[in-house]
Amino acid sequence: MPWGLKRFHETGALHFITWSCCDRQPLLGTPESRDLLLNILEQVRNRYRFGVVGFVVMPEHLHLLMSEPLMGNVSSAICAVKLGFTRRVLSEKPPPLAKPGHKWGTRSIRKGDTFG
């Protein structure tokens, strides 16, 4: 967060939230993934008891205008949405363990070895 900005909680004000997918990947680019996110948002909205005034879902990020939750706080509610979505997406399609072309293994290191 930039210097000099202050966050105000428990004021009854609306909160404008924006977040991006990891590495700006278009994880929200399909109707199925958008529907999944909206279903999770609705579940969390009911659990934390906050209102959604508006939202925009784009392929790689989301904007959300929400009221303060009656249960918990804004941070915990948003964390629940993001974590719920991530867990479900990763359970369907596990991420690659390494970048393509990366070779795993062990090797002896000797004085003068270079890495590349």
pLDDT digits 0-9 by tens, 43-86: 999 999 999 999 999 999 999 999 999 998 999 999 999 999 98
β-bridge partners, 16: 65
Chain Cα centroid distance, residue 66: 16
Exposure b/e, 39-58, CB count within 10 A at least 16 = b: ebbeebbeebebeeeeeebe
* Domain positions in the chain: 15-91
Distance (Å, whole) CA 80 – CA 111? 49
Architecture category of domain 15-91 in CATH: 2-Layer Sandwich (3.30)
Which is more confident, 61 or 12? 61
Taking residues 36-49, report their average pLDDT.
96
CB 50, CB 77: distance < 8 Å: yes
Amino acid 92 reads E
